[in-house]
Structure formats: structure tokens, C-alpha cells
Amino acid sequence: MTQRIFDGHNDALLRLSRKDRTGAIFLGEGNDGHIDLGRAARGGMTGGIFATFVPPESTDRASADMRQTMPDGSTGVPDIQREGQQRALAVTLAQLAIALRIERKSAGAVRICRTPAEVEAANADDAFAMMLHMEGAEAIGPDLDELEVLYSCGMRSLGLVWSRPTIFGHGVPFRFPATPDIGEGLTERGLALVKSCNQLGIMVDCSHLNEKGFWDVTRHSQAPVVATHSNAHTICPVSRNLTDAQMDAIRDSEGVVGLNFATFFLREDGKRIAATPLETMTRHLDHMLNKLGPKGVALGSDFDGALVPVGIGDAAGLPNLVAAMRVSGYDDALIDAICYRNWLSVLARTQSCATL
Ligand code: ZN
């Protein structure tokens, strides 16, 4: 039987926002990008965390436009942020709309799930489970009103920042080789956002956060600390990966790290090369298991957002990664924990911390 997989991160909604806003191509099987229902079914992928993401040009263009009309800079900054936030919210809502259309058109084949129990219930009915995530909080304004509305739309996971500065904190820029310790920690608003996520039971994702911000989360969050799509800095020293000390802190919080399939975050040389052996991935998994334990490691493919090893190719190739885990000596229980159970368990722990 094909191993079931609940994956921690993909950018399919971004791809669909550029290719097919109806979402119809997701419901069939094609060869564009990495995920659709047909290829997911062949690969054993029964669900995953689907991100909304505001590509850099959407907000940068807004900032550049505003700077042209306000050359003095200083007084214009708050308005630039507001303009960027409104554009980010529009982009985010457009991607959420695609997820909602997919669910409605799927005639029960896809369900947007809000809890781990809903994921399991969907899978028991052979439905694909989609959990919604926002990668970077640019769409949320300083009073956090948008967080409430997005929660109500089903969003249950949030990346505090993507790799750029916001009113909440500093995303880590992509550098190789480099430490993740680049830039300042979370702002007061960033700490307030963590608190609100804790109260609502929204999972706080530290992938893309710089190291000072990461330590702020470990000090202030009441819930497990999670990185949905990051690898071991010891093996691939890119700024986006996690140091051993960070993994120790995640383990202490009973958090989870999802293995990112991007070759840029896997390879010792930090190169984007599709011909990267799957053994490179199991090397990261071995190290992560060593640091985080069997309950702290999962998958965070970055499908539709990254160049992945040719040995996987797309969602239909996931069984090849499972086979590589077997070659490395992982037993069935450990493989099921990594591929499926661990995300559901940490989501349950996160939601049990909710106070509102
Ligand atoms: Zn990402």
C-alpha cells in the first residue's frame, strides 16, 4: 500500500493564481508544476498545508510607486506600508478564493480542513485535505483585524514573515553560505501577532524568520515552535536553514520541522541542481531525527515553489522518497510519523493551547 502523506508546505495556490484562477487544473492530472489531484493520488499525498503568498513584486511595486510621489521619504513611510498591505490583502484573498473554488467544484473530493480531526475524517472518506496557511503576514495590518477574518476563512497556520522586513519582523534573506542571524528581532507588533495566533490556535511558522526573531518566538509563544519547510544548517549552510541550537529549542517546545525538497536548501554546495540524489534528503532527515526525535520531523516539500530533485519530480514521485527512507533503515511506524502523523499531532498540540 502506498504510504499516506500530509505535507507541510506548498505554493500551489500561487501557481494557480498565475495559471488558472478557476482552480480547475488542480482537479485533474497534468504536468504543470508539482501538485494536482491526479498526481497527489498516485504519490499517496492525501493532503497538505497550502500557502497563500504575496510575491515580492506585488508589494515592492507599491512601495516604489509611493516613493516617486513622496520624495521626502520620512513622512511617506506609513502610507507606503498601508498601500503595500492593501495590495497584499488583495493578492491573499485572490489565492484563498482559488482554494474555496477548488473545494466547491470538487464535489467532495477536496475539503478545506480546520483541525487535525477534520483532516483524518476527510482522508477516511478518500477526500484530499487542504489546510490553509499564510506565508508572511503582509496582508495583516497593525491592528490585526485581518487575522480574525482569515482565521474565520479557515486559515490555521501563519508564517510571521517571508524573507523580507515587515511591520512584524525581519525575514531572513537568501544567502549562501551564511548564518541565519541577519537583522533584528520581532517588533512589538510581531510579538502581538504571536500572542493572537496563540489565542486563536493558529500555528506559528518560523521558516523564513531570521535567528533573532526565532528566539523571540521561542521566548514568547505558548505553543510548539514550528518550521514548516527548513533543513539542517549543519549540512547545507544556507541562511534559510536551522542551526542545531534552533532545532534543540524546537524539540524542547515539542515542535516540528518539515524537510524542504528545494535543492538550494539540501545540497552542501547550496546549488540549484535537479540531479541531486535522494540520499541528500535522507542525510538531512537523519540529522533532524537525531536533533528533534521521531515526533519532531515531517515533510515540507515546497512543491510549486522550488526546484526539487529529479528523483521525486512532482507529487507522483513521493513514493521514491519513502523508498529512500526504507533504504536508510526507517521502519513503517517512523515513516508514517514523518509522512503523516507528526503534522497532525503538532497541529493538535497547537490548537489545544488556544484560549479564545
Ligand atoms: Zn517558503
Write out the DSSP string of 200-212.
HTPEEE-TTB-HH
Q: How far is the CA of 113 from the centre of ligand 1 (A)?
A: 21
What is the pLDDT, as a whole number, of residue 79?
A: 60
Measured CA to CA, the distance from residue 333 to residue 327 in angstroms comes to 15
Q: How far is the CA of 136 from the centre of ligand 1 (A)?
A: 9
**Which CATH number covers residue 264?**
3.20.20.140
Q: How far is the CA of 263 from the centre of ligand 1 (A)?
A: 13
What is the pLDDT, as a whole number, of residue 81?
A: 74
Q: How far is the CA of 319 from the centre of ligand 1 (A)?
A: 23
Q: How far is the CA of 242 from the centre of ligand 1 (A)?
A: 14
Which burial class, exposed, middle or buried, applies to 75 when counting CB atoms under 10 A from its CB (0-12, 13-18, 19+)?
exposed
Q: How far is the CA of 135 from the centre of ligand 1 (A)?
A: 7
Q: How far is the CA of 80 from the centre of ligand 1 (A)?
A: 24
What is the pLDDT, as a whole number, of residue 61?
A: 54
Measured CA to CA, the distance from residue 334 to residue 355 in angstroms comes to 32
- pTM of the complete model: 0.94
What is the pLDDT, as a whole number, of residue 57?
A: 74
Look up the domain containing 331 and give its range: 5-352
Q: How far is the CA of 107 from the centre of ligand 1 (A)?
A: 30
What is the pLDDT, as a whole number, of residue 82?
A: 77
**Chunked mean pLDDT (size 10), the chain, 356 residues:** 97 97 97 97 98 83 46 46 89 98 98 98 98 97 97 98 95 97 97 98 98 98 98 98 98 98 98 98 98 98 98 98 98 98 98 93
User: Is residue 224 within 8 Å of residue 258, measured between CB atoms?
Assistant: no
Task: List beta partners, residue 158.
Answer: 134, 204
Q: How far is the CA of 161 from the centre of ligand 1 (A)?
A: 10
| CA dist 161 → 26, 208, 266, 297, 324 (Å) | 27, 6, 22, 22, 33
| Widest Cα–Cα separation across the chain | 64
Neighbours of 352 (CB within 10 A): 9
Q: How far is the CA of 97 from the centre of ligand 1 (A)?
A: 20
Residues listed for the chain: 356
What is the pLDDT, as a whole number, of residue 284?
A: 98
**Count of domains for the chain:** 1
User: Is residue 314 within 8 Å of residue 164, measured between CB atoms?
Assistant: no
